[in-house]
Amino acid sequence: MKQNYVSIKNESVRMFRNDFLESLSKVHPAVPLILYIPLIIYLGYKSLAELNLSVYSAFWLFFSGLFVWTFTEYVLHRFVFHLQFKSQLGQRIHFIFHGVHHDYPNDARRLVMPPSASIPLSALFYLLFSLVLGSIRVVPFFAGFMLGYLVYDMMHYAIHHFRIENRYWKKIKEHHMRHHFVDSTKGFGVSSALWDVVAGTDYDSGRHNKTA
């Protein structure tokens, strides 16, 4: 199978001619932590201290949001980021959203989602969840959902740039490396392989050589 990358070095490629748009496409990996840890803490505090929710309800909703994130991560990666277009414009859109990561998988400034994308997406998901759960229950739920996103972003960076020794984390890293270097039609879960197993897009370890 043809490999989906151009470079395995920590190098980048220019995506936009406009300097401002180009700057929005890159982000330091610490930025999501700075943006969303305070938000998660605030939502958790509000859930327990200000809203009329029992501790049991708040924690159940929190972990429900965390679980829903794992499914959202899988669906976005499989059906949105890997959506293929035939037109030149469509291929350009795909490259901007995800193709650049497969061509330059170790580009340190494009391994976490930039605020120009994560903030609008977060607002959209909050609106959708609030329509389903209401203005009170959505608060702890969204705290869990955003924690799931933050774990995903940090794990994605670590997978590509940290030396991992723990057996469990090495297995997750191997799962994602296969997605990049063996078969990009499988292995869409990054923080967890759960939904790949459920949906049948996991890797059969007996059929592929392991990657380092």
Predicted confidence (pLDDT) at residue 174 exceeds the cutoff of 60: yes
Segment 150-162 shows an average pLDDT of 88
Please name which of 68, 66, 94 lies closest in space to residue 80, comparing C-alpha atoms: 94
pLDDT reported for residue 206: 42
Token pair of 117, please?
A: 């994308």
Predicted confidence (pLDDT) at residue 207 exceeds the cutoff of 70: no
pLDDT reported for residue 160: 82
Report d(CA 90, CA 107) in Å as an integer.
23
pLDDT reported for residue 6: 54
Other C-beta atoms lying within 10 Å of the C-beta of residue 72: 18
Q: To the nearest 10°, report the CA torsion of 195, 96, 34, 176.
A: 30
Please name which of 182, 6, 187 lies closest in space to residue 82, comparing C-alpha atoms: 187
pLDDT reported for residue 210: 43
CA atoms within 13 A on the CB side of 51: 22
Model pLDDT for residues 66-106, shown as the tens digit of each residue: 999 999 999 999 888 887 777 777 677 767 667 677 677 76
Domain ranges of the chain: 19-100+110-161
pLDDT reported for residue 21: 78
pLDDT reported for residue 171: 87
Q: Supply the DSSP symbol for 51.
A: S
Interior/surface letters 164-183, b for 16+ CB within 10 angstroms, e for the rest? eeeeeeeebbbbbbbbbbbb
Predicted confidence (pLDDT) at residue 127 exceeds the cutoff of 80: yes
Q: What is the DSSP string of 85-125?
A: -SSHHHHHHHIIIIIHHHHSTT-GGGSS--HHHHHHHHHHH
Report d(CA 41, CA 36) in Å as an integer.
9
Please name which of 192, 190, 207 lies closest in space to residue 101, comparing C-alpha atoms: 190
Segment 6-28 shows an average pLDDT of 72
% residues pLDDT > 70 (the chain): 86
Model pLDDT for residues 22-50, shown as the tens digit of each residue: 777 778 889 999 999 999 999 999 999 98
pLDDT reported for residue 1: 33
pLDDT reported for residue 34: 96
